[in-house]
Amino acid sequence: MKSLIRNVYCIGRNYKLHAAELGNAVPAEPMVFMKPSHALTWLDGQQGLPLPLHKGAVHHELELVLRIERQVEPGMTADEAVDGLALGIDFTLRDVQDVLKKQGHPWLAAKGFLHSAPLTPFMAYPGTEATIHTPFQLKLNGKTVQQGIASDMIFNFDDLIQYVAIHYGLGEGDLIFTGTPAGVGAVQAGDTLELLWNGECVGKGVIQTTEVK
């Protein structure tokens, strides 16, 4: 349940092709940022996804999301620390982010707005070996726009868990958005998003626009 979720950690530029498509260098260590837990919403197909489209381009970034079940200790692996897996989207106000980068300001305004972190229902973690070889996809109005496989990540699950735990702490109820593969792009009001795990739709939502204020 959402009430049990604590910290929401996100990993930037964890796929080489995604870094390249945005003209960014491949990081030497995990690039970590956070979203407020209030950014979370559920992709259950029953409710829309209201987004601030009036603030410029809003890009979809499909991600695998790990749910941590216990306090992470040094050397602990994903198989020992993770109990749930979901697909999620890191919605990003790209125009806002570009301005913030130039100003050297934090990304919160571009990454942490309400409904910027929709999630599918969690499934039991199938184990790292099975997870990294299972394809996942995002369909936009029936067309596949992003697809990935976790074995292509720059930093694997064990690396990410240890890095976050050592630098920031990682425990029960924390989430890690593990990075997005190439193919990010803008969404518009009325767009239908479908998230697929091994070819099966596990979450769906329709984009709405919030009121201009």
What is the DSSP track for the chain? -GGG---EEEEES-SHHHHHHTT-PPPSS-EEEEE-GGGEEE-BSSS-EEE-GGGS-EEE-EEEEEEE-S---TT--HHHHEEEEEEEE--EEHHHHHHHHHHT--SHHHH-STT-EEEPPPEE---HHHHHTS-EEEEETTEEEEEE-GGG-SS-HHHHHHHHHHHH---TT-EEE----S--EE--TT-EEEEEETTEEEEEEEEEEPPP-
Q: Tell me the whole-structure pTM to 2 decimals.
A: 0.94
Q: What is the pLDDT of residue 138?
A: 98
Give average pLDDT by consecutive 10-residue segment, the chain, 213 residues: 78 80 78 96 88 96 97 97 98 95 94 97 97 98 97 96 98 97 95 97 95 61
